[in-house]
Every structure is written in C-alpha cells, then in structure tokens.
Chains A and B, each alone.
Chain A
Amino acid sequence: MTKLVYFAWVRERIGKGEEEISLPADVVTVGDLLNHLKTLGEEYETALQFPDAIRVAINMEHADHDEPIAGAREIGIFPPMTGG
C-alpha cells in the first residue's frame, strides 16, 4: 500500500486529502502513477487532466514525472506552489 496525499485544488477536485492505495506492478514512475490515478474515476480525471500542472513529492521531496516511485512511503500530489 502506498499513502497518497493531495493539496489545494488537486485535493478539492479529488474530494479527499489522503488515501492508501495498492498500485499495479506496471506503475513504475511518477508519470505512470498519474496516468493510473486518472483511471480511478471522473474526479481523478478532472484533477489530473493537465499533467504538466501537477507537482509531485516522494517522501516529502520534489520529484520529476520520470522518477521511479519504488520505495515511496508517501507521495504528495499538488499544483505548483504559491507561497511567500
């Protein structure tokens, strides 16, 4: 099981802040994960329809979409940051 946490409009569109899901073996990279999530329902499809606008953190560190997710305890999925 992998813990996923969502923030800002990604969280609002998916409709929850976090969840634990089991991932198929062919989900290897961050990009694979985003594509897989889009198959889980309309709300995921809406949240993730523009992958370029999605940022991901593996174990609380920024990760590119081509990075492998093996060994991830927690994966954060969110829009570009707007702090400061």
Chain B
Amino acid sequence: MTAEPLVKVQREDFDLQTEIDRLTNGRLDIGAVVTFSGLCRDEGGMLGALELEHYPGMAEAEITRIATLAIERFDLRCLTAIHRYGKISPGENIVLVIAAASHRQAAFDGANLVMDFLKTSAPFWKKEHAKDGKEGDWISARDADDAARDKWTVDNK
C-alpha cells in the first residue's frame, strides 16, 4: 500500500527532531531519512522579514499531490512536508521536507523532487519587508526554478 504523506500548512514554527521522530517511530523498514529545511535569509542584512501569503485549501492540496507523486515515483516509506505562512524573520524556518525510504538515493531524490515542484506549483508568494520597516516588493518567480522542476519530467522520463 502506498504511504500517505503528512502535509501541514501552518503559521507556527516546526521542530526538525520532533518531525523526524514522528515519521520514524516504530518503523523498522526505513533505512534512509533525508531532511531539507528552508530558512529565511537576511539578504546581507537588508531584509527585516518575509511575508508569506498562501491560497488556503489549494496549498495543502497541491503539496499533497506533489508529495504523493514523490512517494509513488521513488517508493518512499513516508514523507512529511510542512510549509509556513505569515511573517517570517531572518533565521526562522520556512519549509521542511522529510523523505524516508529503504535506501539513500530514493530518499534524496524524493526530497529533491518535492522541493522542485513545491517552489513552482504550490500556491505561496513572498513579499519582502526591509529592515527599516518599509514594505518591499513581491519576489519574482525564477526561470531557474522552472528548469529545476522540468528536469524531472523532461530528462528523467
């Protein structure tokens, strides 16, 4: 049976160890756990905060779709994906992906695929706030992120 991903879209912070334990507790079939966590950079001291907007309902659905794709493609034992929204300060967590598999390569690939799709198709948007409190611009989508996503469908078919 295919594993169901654990997907959470939340304002609150998360704890890496708690989430790893939740995923692996009582499991004897997992040989590899890969975690990716994305944090807010201060952009050379210029950034005061990032404001993350999301599409409630669709954000959860889209991440679940991506996570399920990764589980099926790499035969993952389980996968957790957590994405925060709201105002996030430099140094704080934004996103967490944990992929668990029998073997290392599947866990790496699973986490990698989820992040590449998440960046380009999960409905989140980032707005910058400068350190002096001034409201900045919305961050533009990057072509490089589209290319990273497309390599999963173009090269690895």
Contacts and interface: CB of A to CB of B under 8 A. Distances in A.
B122 interface: yes
Contacts of A71: none
Interface string A58-83: 00111000000000000010111111
Contact of A82 (B55, B58, B124): B124
A7 B127 CA distance: 12
A76 B121 contact: no
Interface residues of B, number: 28
Nearest to B38: A84
A37 interface: no
A78 B55 contact: yes
A57 interface: yes
Contacts of A7: 53, 55, 123, 125
Interface in B14-73: 38, 52-55, 57-58, 61-62
Contacts, number: 72
Contact of B83 (A60, A82, A83): A83
Interface in B82-99: 83, 94-95
Given A60-B57, A78-B55, A8 B138 contact: yes
Given A5-B55, A7-B53, A57-B58, A79 B118 contact: no
A82 B139 contact: yes
Given A7-B53, A8-B127, A83 B138 contact: no
A48 to B, nearest CB: 15
A49 B43 CA distance: 30
B122 A84 contact: yes
A9 B38 CA distance: 23
Interface of B: 38, 52-55, 57-58, 61-62, 83, 94-95, 115, 118-127, 138-141, 145
Interface of A: 5, 7-9, 57, 60-62, 76, 78-84
